[in-house]
Amino acid sequence: MSAFQKLVEHSKKVSNFGHLSAIVGWDQAAVMPAGGAEARSNAMAELEVHMHSLMTQPHLGDLFAQAEEESLSTQDQAVLREMKRDWQQANLLPESLVQAQSLAGSKCEHAWRTQRGNDDWAGFEKKLG
């Protein structure tokens, strides 16, 4: 299997976790009962951290270098360029920030559901800080 093909397979794996994250996020926003907010927030943060660790695996740098030397179609070169861009961007973020961002987003999502109906921006704003 070529380096490019290995990267494509790896990208599919990460994409599958991203799909799962989207489903869980929709469920949280649409139908999750209030009592499940903390557990769901923690689970979503764990999933985001796992996806981040997959995206920042050290061996991916070697695979990108190898794939750039392969003879690829114009379309595959574009795919490689975008996968590498995603990898580079993921490597700019520490795991702690990915986790904190996910937890904050979940916390705010849940708070806004109740505070929006009460027109309580001040109460919601406290959650942002």
- Model confidence at 93: pLDDT above 70: yes
- Model confidence at 50: pLDDT above 70: yes
- Model confidence at 106: pLDDT above 70: yes
The whole-number pLDDT of residue 43 equals: 94
User: In the predicted model, what is the mean pLDDT of residues 23-33?
Assistant: 87
User: In the predicted model, what is the mean pLDDT of residues 67-84?
Assistant: 98
The residue that leads in pLDDT, 91 or 117, is 91
- Residue spans per domain, the chain: 3-128
- Model confidence at 25: pLDDT above 80: yes
- Supply the pTM of this predicted model: 0.86
The residue that leads in pLDDT, 22 or 127, is 22
**pLDDT confidence band for 129 (50 / 70 / 90):** low
- Cβ(47)–Cβ(20) below 8 Å: yes
The amino acid occupying position 5 is Q
Contacts for 88 with CB less than 8 Å, ≥ 6 apart: none
Contacts for 72 with CB less than 8 Å, ≥ 6 apart: 4, 80
Q: Which two tokens stand for residue 4?
A: 């490019």
- Model confidence at 13: pLDDT above 70: yes
